[in-house]
Amino acid sequence: MTDQQRPDPAAPQPEAGRPIRPRHVFGGLPRYAAGKPPRVVEGLRQYKLSSNENPLGPVPAVRRALAQYDAATHLYPDPLTTRLRTALSDSLGVPAEDIVAGAGSYGALTQIVSAFAGQSESGEPDEVVYAWRSFEAYPIIVGLGGARSVQVPLLATGEHDLDAMADAIGERTRVVLLCSPNNPTGPALTVDRVEAFMARVPRDVVVVLDEAYLEFCEASELTRRERAEGGLAEGVALYRRHPNLVVLRTFSKAAGLAGLRVGYSISQQEITRTLRVAATPFAVSSLAEACAVAAVEHPDEIAEQVGWIVAERERVVAGLREIGWDVPLTRANFVWLALGEHSAEFAAFAEENALAVRAFHPEGVRVSIGEEEANTRLLELCARFPGRPGGSAPADR
């Protein structure tokens, strides 16, 4: 160590006993808890059903893109993700200028909230309204931006209470988050209900429609009520009619690219102009972009996998109801067990049988649809577990 590198003994020393402190908002933030891996149990194959991952992995077109990727890691990726936005533009029939990419839907949502909700010039927090329980990252993203969460309880069926959410919008509301299908409970919003909600939202409030699990909706058979209410809501059609609506999507679920972190938002250019300023530069790697483009260009391969997962989901739901469980209607790649105070107990029981599930104690347990053997084992465990969830299953199937 040179003299220049040595600490100067005459320089002021840090005051003892004064720890480095983060911003005050950290004290009230929940921690994001990723799904745990399964426990090793002798004689049983382990299955992770705690993270809503695609058990089939990426489709053949994506695997080819991975194998052929030219690892130019010394070069920055395209900051505008031009290839991906062009492919999405062609696939969805929307202008490429209306698309902003991000590091998964988490990254894309962070861009939206940080752009439109934080604190006023006087330091007063803005408000972000969303249903609860919903995606556990929402309160973290909102709090880190300096805004205040306004959580509106779900209905007993696990659905958004859109009337109560509209009532919760006030003078400080800047953003509303809708999750459809809702994570972790599963129900999806219908067209008529979203349109009625949007009619009550002030024009200057940004509404985010989080469609991380949209593809599983598209492969689902509608109930009578869903058909009567115009079918399931779909963001592209809605954003064309509502300038304050932002659609949020990801390649992590249906496309099986959770490890590559690529998502995007769609909104009219009044909003995208701001989002481009808030976007993290180079958030989507060149590899992630190449694989996402391959997924967009091969929707038939994605649809085949989604169809298999939805069929397994319906088998699990039917099996649960046959043995006496009430489960909410789910349009995603997971099921919700409203176990209440028994949630942690059930998660431990599953862990003892080499299944990792996601407990939200004391509300319920979310179980991802996995491989066929994993789903069958889940049904066997549920048949042996004495508790029953307290939610009510829809009667209009």
Provide, for the chain, the percentages of residues in helix, strand and coil under a 3-state DSSP scheme, each rounded to the nearest 5: 40, 15, 45
Axis-axis angle for helices 372-384, 299-322 (nearest 10)? 20
Query: CA-CA distance, 179 to 221, in Å (whole number)?
Result: 20
pLDDT at 36: 76
pLDDT at 121: 86
pLDDT at 394: 40
Give tens-digit pLDDT for 189-246.
999 999 999 999 999 999 999 999 999 998 899 999 999 999 999 999 999 999 999 9
Cα-Cα end-to-end distance for the chain: 74
Query: CA-CA distance, 338 to 366, in Å (whole number)?
Result: 9
Give tens-digit pLDDT for 231-289.
999 999 999 999 999 999 999 999 999 999 999 999 999 999 999 999 999 999 999 99
Q: Which CATH architecture has domain 32-56+300-384?
A: Alpha-Beta Complex (3.90)
Query: CA-CA distance, 166 to 379, in Å (whole number)?
Result: 38
Does pLDDT of 392 surpass 60? no
Residue 285 is encoded by which pair of tokens? 């790697």
Q: How many residues does the chain have?
A: 397
Residues 6 or more apart in contact with residue 316 via CB below 8 angstroms: 335, 367, 369, 375, 378, 379
- Using DSSP, state whether 226 is helix, strand or coil: helix
Which class in CATH covers the domain with range 62-297? alpha beta
Does pLDDT of 172 surpass 80? yes
Report DSSP letters for 65-76, one per residue.
Answer: HHHH----TTSP
pLDDT at 11: 67
pLDDT at 16: 66
Q: Are 335 and 186 in contact (CB under 8 A)?
A: yes
Sheet containing strand 148-153, edge to edge, reads 99-102, 263-266, 245-250, 206-210, 173-179, 127-132, 148-153
pLDDT at 14: 61
Give tens-digit pLDDT for 16-64.
678 888 777 777 777 777 777 888 888 999 999 999 999 999 999 999 9
Residue 72: pLDDT band with limits 50, 70, 90: confident
pLDDT at 13: 64
Q: Are 198 and 226 in contact (CB under 8 A)?
A: no
Q: Are 139 and 129 in contact (CB under 8 A)?
A: no
- Using DSSP, state whether 228 is helix, strand or coil: helix
- Using DSSP, state whether 151 is helix, strand or coil: strand
Which residue type sits at 381?
Answer: L
Residue 252 gets which letter from DSSP? S
pLDDT at 1: 55
Residue 391: pLDDT band with limits 50, 70, 90: very low
Query: CA-CA distance, 342 to 322, in Å (whole number)?
Result: 20
User: What values do phi and psi take at 101, rounded to 5?
Assistant: -85, 160
313-322, long-range: CB within 8 Å, 24+ apart, which pairs? 313/216, 313/369, 315/375, 316/367, 316/369, 316/375, 316/378, 316/379, 319/379, 319/382, 320/379, 320/382, 321/393
- Mean pLDDT of the region 307-329: 96
Give tens-digit pLDDT for 340-368.
999 999 999 999 999 999 999 999 999 99
Query: CA-CA distance, 325 to 388, in Å (whole number)?
Result: 6
Higher pLDDT: 396 or 269? It is: 269
- Mean pLDDT of the region 157-175: 98
Higher pLDDT: 280 or 71? It is: 280
Give tens-digit pLDDT for 285-306.
999 999 999 999 999 999 999 9
Residue 255 is encoded by which pair of tokens? 């496309």
Identify the weakest region by mean pLDDT among 2-6, 221-225, 373-377.
Answer: 2-6
pLDDT at 5: 64
pLDDT at 38: 84
- Mean pLDDT of the region 70-78: 90
How many CA atoms does the CB half-sphere of 372 hold within 13 Å?
A: 2
Residue ranges of domains in the chain? 32-56+300-384, 62-297
